[in-house]
Amino acid sequence: MDSIIPFVIEILGGALRGKSSRIALRSAVETNKLNREEESALYYLVFEILRRLNVIDLYIKTSTSSYSLKKISSDNRAILRIATYLMKIENKDIEFVNNLLSSHFEQFSESNFLTILDLIQSVSEEQLYENRNDLASNLSIEYFTPTWIVRKFLSQWGVETTKKILPSFQQNLHLYVRINTIKANLEEILRIFHLNDISYSIVEEIENLVRIEENEIPIPQLEAFKEGKILIQQKASALVSLVLDPQEDDEILDMCASPGGKTSHIAALLKNKGKIVAVDMNDERVKILKDRMNLLGIKLVRIIQTDARELHRKIETRFDKILLDPPCSGSGTYSSRPENKWRMNQRDLGWYVNLQKDLLNEAAVLLKTGGSIVYSTCSLFHEENHSVILDFLQENSNFKLVETTPMVGVTSKILNEKTQELYPHIHETEGFFIAKIQKE
């Protein structure tokens, strides 16, 4: 484990400063040519710590009041978190932890590492609970999730469902691979999987999507991936473009397009013939989108970098089908992006909701009569999903909800069984919401 500690320290620090742990992990593995064993240990430790951060930090705070987390360097903070995880969650003894980590720890103020470890070790679970009588606080510690999120889930679904969803954030999701039918076909890719000892199962509900069961070689290292013949895409995300149901003579708009998972799927469904306008506001992400379209051999996409809320001022075109996959809390992705749980608070959620509403209003302006908008998020919060749609329908009586087919998820009474939701604990994919509305 020794050899991976410097990478864990760096990735934990980066993840809490806003970097993606997934991207940092992949880059650490590739740049440092880590072997398979080191790679799995690195992924395991980073994810386990990020998933349990509230409880880990509670142990540290309760035991080291004078070394409040804020006062120490980000590397030392990461080391304390690793130490606490190993001692309190994995039950490793203090000597093991001290031997493993003390050489990385920069001394600060009057204390040494072993004293701090001793203090952390002495805190019992009992002392962690601020309010034993509050259900949300208890669930927050039991399932390693911020209390405000637990409260929201409890008010949306009640105790039973909340208790089914929360544990799914601690589990790894299956990886799914979509065949880019512009460059390859299913048979060719399955042959490559056999040759590389990759076991898989075919996803019946979504054509050209395969679930990876076991793989010795990481998917991004396959030539087929590097050549753009396959891409990694969650099952829920691959469903969205099917619901849009693109046809060759449709004018199609993807309003928040990068990194292009759904744009490229729409292009493949259209067999690279037709018209797609793909918009994204962010410089770096537009570059990623352009590179990805090139790699995947996609020719029918016109990429526009702009704030999509202003798009009607920039282009004359009005569209038959619009996909709106706006920025969201990502609360459906806490399993694969555990750092997101700790990054935002309730105020941030309000910011997302306002942006989602503004984007949806703009989509309505850009849509032709008779056209439809597919609205999707990887969020589990009703505020970003059902409420955005309900408010929109109340203000726009010329729009109606239509069925979201194919139906893979579950429907909800809140929106007359017309929308669909996917849940990690039921559908083995990220949490997702999909609605389709039509302009009459």
Ligand X SMILES: C[S@@+](CC[C@H](N)C(=O)[O-])C[C@H]1O[C@@H](n2cnc3c(N)ncnc32)[C@H](O)[C@@H]1O
Minimum Å distance from CB 301 to ligand X? 13
Give the total of residues touching ligand X (CB under 6 A).
18
Residues 33 to 72 in contact with ligand X, rule: CB under 6 A: none
Residues 223 to 242 in contact with ligand X, rule: CB under 6 A: 237
Q: Is 256 in the site for ligand X (CB under 6 A)?
A: yes
Q: Return d(Cα 233, Cα 231) in angstroms, integer.
A: 6
> What tokens appear for 208 in the block?
């050209």
Q: For residue 175, what are the contacts with CB-CB under 8 A and spacing of at least 6? A: 211, 212, 215, 219, 232
Stretch that binds ligand X, among 104-112, 242-250, 276-284, 404-412 (CB under 6 A): 276-284
Minimum Å distance from CB 84 to ligand X? 33
The residue nearest ligand X at its CB is 256
The three-class DSSP label of residue 415 is helix
Helix axes 135-142, 53-63, angle to 10 degrees: 100
C-alpha dist (Å) from residue 416 to 252, 374, 401: 27, 16, 9
Nearer to ligand X, 7 or 392 (CB): 392
Work out which of 230, 279, 296, 366 binds ligand X, going by CB under 6 A: 279
> What tokens appear for 180 in the block?
């880019």
Stretch that binds ligand X, among 17-25, 201-209, 214-222, 255-263 (CB under 6 A): 255-263
Stretch that binds ligand X, among 75-83, 162-170, 223-231, 251-259 (CB under 6 A): 251-259
> What tokens appear for 284 in the block?
């770096």
Work out which of 22, 290, 309, 418 binds ligand X, going by CB under 6 A: 309
Work out which of 325, 339, 421, 430 binds ligand X, going by CB under 6 A: 325
Work out which of 19, 163, 164, 285 binds ligand X, going by CB under 6 A: 285
What pairing do the DSSP bridges indicate for beta strands 399-402 and 209-214?
A: unpaired
Asked if 401 and 418 touch (Cβ cutoff 8 Å), the reply is: yes
Longest dimension (CA), the chain: 72
Work out which of 246, 261, 332, 424 binds ligand X, going by CB under 6 A: 261
Nearer to ligand X, 76 or 340 (CB): 340
Stretch that binds ligand X, among 139-147, 152-160, 259-267, 363-371 (CB under 6 A): 259-267
Question: For the chain, what's the residue count?
Answer: 440
Helix residue ranges, H only, 32-184: 36-51, 53-63, 74-84, 94-101, 113-122, 135-142, 147-165
Q: Is 431 in the site for ligand X (CB under 6 A)?
A: no
Active site residue 378: yes
For residue 107, report the phi and psi dihedrals to the nearest 5 degrees.
Answer: -60, 145
Stretch that binds ligand X, among 21-29, 198-206, 252-260, 268-276 (CB under 6 A): 252-260
The three-class DSSP label of residue 283 is helix
Q: Is 344 in the site for ligand X (CB under 6 A)?
A: no
**Residue bearing tokens 């980073």:** 46
Work out which of 82, 257, 268, 374 binds ligand X, going by CB under 6 A: 257
Work out which of 54, 327, 357, 387 binds ligand X, going by CB under 6 A: 327
Which of 16, 378, 389, 422 is catalytic? The answer is: 378
Q: For residue 367, what are the contacts with CB-CB under 8 A and spacing of at least 6? A: 318, 319, 322, 373, 439
Q: Is 281 in the site for ligand X (CB under 6 A)?
A: yes
Quote the DSSP letter at residue 85. I
Residues tagged active-site: 378
For binding to ligand X (CB under 6 A), which residues are involved?
Answer: 237, 256-262, 279-282, 285, 307-309, 325, 327
